[in-house]
Every structure is written in C-alpha cells, then in structure tokens.
Amino acid sequence: DTAVSQTPKYLVTQMGNDKSIKCEQNLGHDTMYWYKQDSKKFLKIMFSYNNKELIINETVPNRFSPKSPDKAHLNLHINSLELGDSAVYFCASSQVLGDAEAFFGQGTRLTVV
Amino acid sequence: LAKTTQPISMDSYEGQEVNITCSHNNIATNDYITWYQQFPSQGPRFIIQGYKTKVTNEVASLFIPADRKSSTLSLPRVSLSDTAVYYCLGGYQKVTFGTGTKLQVIP
C-alpha cells in the first residue's frame, strides 16, 4: 500500500490547457505539501497545508491553485499552462507541521508542449 | 531560514566510508539539520536529523560541531545502491532542498 500516491505519473499537455494533479496519503498525517523540481534538480516548496488550512504559499503564480478537500488529499490545479511549468511535481506529507520527516510521492512529470 | 551549501558532486568506491559536509552559517538557534536522499525518478527520502553532537541510525551518522555552522553526513561502507543525491536542510519548514550533492559510487 503506497503511503503517498499521486496521479498521474506522467502528464503531457499543450500550452494554455488546464490540468490537475491529485495526491492522497494514507498515513493519517496532518500536513501535506507540494514541491516543484525543475530541470536543474532544484527542489522547492510551493504550498503546505495543515489540517486542510493553507500554511505556506511560496511565490507561485496564481495559475497554481491547491485544494484540500480533506486531510488525506491535496490536489494541485494549474490553469493556462506555460512551457516553464514543465517540471516534476512532488506531493509529500508529514505527521505534523514542522516534523522533520516527510514522506514523498513518486512525482508527476509534467511536460508542456 | 538557514541557507545551506554542499558540494555539487562526489565520487566514491564501493566499500568506502563517505562523508558529505554541509555548511549552514546562519542556522537559527532552534533549527534542526535534516538530510534526505533522492534516487532518480523518485521522491526524496528522509535519512537522519540532528541538533548537535552526533546522531546515528541504521543508515547513517550525522556529526554536528558545537558551533552548528556545518554538519557532516557519514555513510559507512557505501554500495552501488547508495548512488543518489543527498540534500541537507536547515530549519523545520523544509522550504527548499537546494541542489544537493550527487554521490556516484564506483565499483
């Protein structure tokens, strides 16, 4: 049973489209995150949610909108996709906010053409 | 937030001990130091965390000197499967992982 699962694993789409990436964790954790890893492998946080509340919102275009319907899910919706959005997006969770150990999903490789 | 600096890459032969040092000059008093490992096409995986002195688990050891301006991750007797990128983080928010150290283990 996968602890943090995200779908899809690969996503290829055209510029201007809207797409969503889903994330679910079955660990009972309170906190969930979205990270973006670019082509240079630099991994940076985008959002974090604690008990469905937005805690961290880094400098991310407002075309990116996270949604947390419940503690176990944190989805990422992206509007009007641009070439620069191509990256690997990782979802993660930790037991509580500030917990050092976070569990990551396998990643979603988004390619915008 | 503590800014961390690590070597971009390292090579090591199988069976050797590998030490990866990270500098974090502006680490805050209450910040912990955390290390993650990432294999290609996978998400990062937590390895170890420490505040000061030495911490050891089944995977690695972490050495933090008294001034806490640096830390050293020690991997005993590496194998080919330890080839990965290793990230050092300061602080608790896990805001940014930096570029990490790419460790290549050679047969």
Question: Could you report the per-residue pLDDT of B21-54, keeping only the tens digit for each?
Answer: 999 888 888 888 999 999 998 999 999 999 988 9
Burial (0-12, 13-18, 19+ Cβ within 10 Å), A94:
buried
**Cis peptide before A61, with omega less than 30 degrees from 0?**
no
Average pLDDT, chain A: 92
| Type of residue numbered A70 | D
Q: Give the torsion sign (CA, A12, A15, A18, A21).
A: positive
Tell whether A31 is within 8 A of chain B (Cβ): no
Most A-contacting residue of B38, B94, B95, B96 (CB-CB within 10 A), to test interface: B94
Measured from the Cβ of residue B40, the count of other Cβ atoms closer than 10 Å reads: 8
CATH number at residue A24: 2.60.40.10
Two tokens, residue A102: 């976070």
Two tokens, residue B9: 């890459």
pLDDT of residue A63: 96
How many structural domains are present in chain A? 1
Of the candidates A4, A1, A2, the one whose C-alpha atom is nearest the C-alpha of residue A90 is: A4
- 3-state DSSP of chain B: CCCCECCCEEEEECCCCEEEEEECCCCCCCCCEEEEEECCCCCCEEEEEECCEEEECCCCEEEECCCCCEEEEEECCCCHHHCEEEEEEECCCCCEEECCEEEEEEC
Side-chain-facing half-sphere of A6: CA atoms under 13 Å? 30
The domain limits of chain B are: 9-106
Question: Could you report the per-residue pLDDT of A35-75, keeping only the tens digit for each?
Answer: 999 887 788 889 989 888 888 777 789 999 999 999 999 99
pLDDT of residue A55: 84
Picking from A1-5, A95-99, B11-15, B90-94, which range would have the lowest pLDDT averaged per residue?
B90-94
How far apart are the C-alpha atoms of A47 and A3, rounded to whole Å? 19
Most B-contacting residue of A43, A48, A50, A103 (CB-CB within 10 A), to test interface: A43
* Chain B residue whose CA is closest to A99: B92
- Does the beta-carbon distance from B44 to A90 stay under 8 Å? yes
Residue with the two structure tokens 């979205």: A34
How far apart are the C-alpha atoms of B9 and B102, rounded to whole Å? 4
Domain B9-106 is classified in which CATH homologous superfamily?
Immunoglobulins (2.60.40.10)
**Domain extent for A41:** 4-97+104-112
Two tokens, residue B32: 């912990």
Q: Looking at residues B13-22, what average pLDDT do you find? A: 97
Of the candidates B67, B7, B75, B81, the one whose C-alpha atom is nearest the C-alpha of residue B39 is: B81
Question: Could you report the per-residue pLDDT of B77-105, keeping only the tens digit for each?
Answer: 999 999 999 999 886 556 667 779 999 99
pLDDT of residue A3: 93
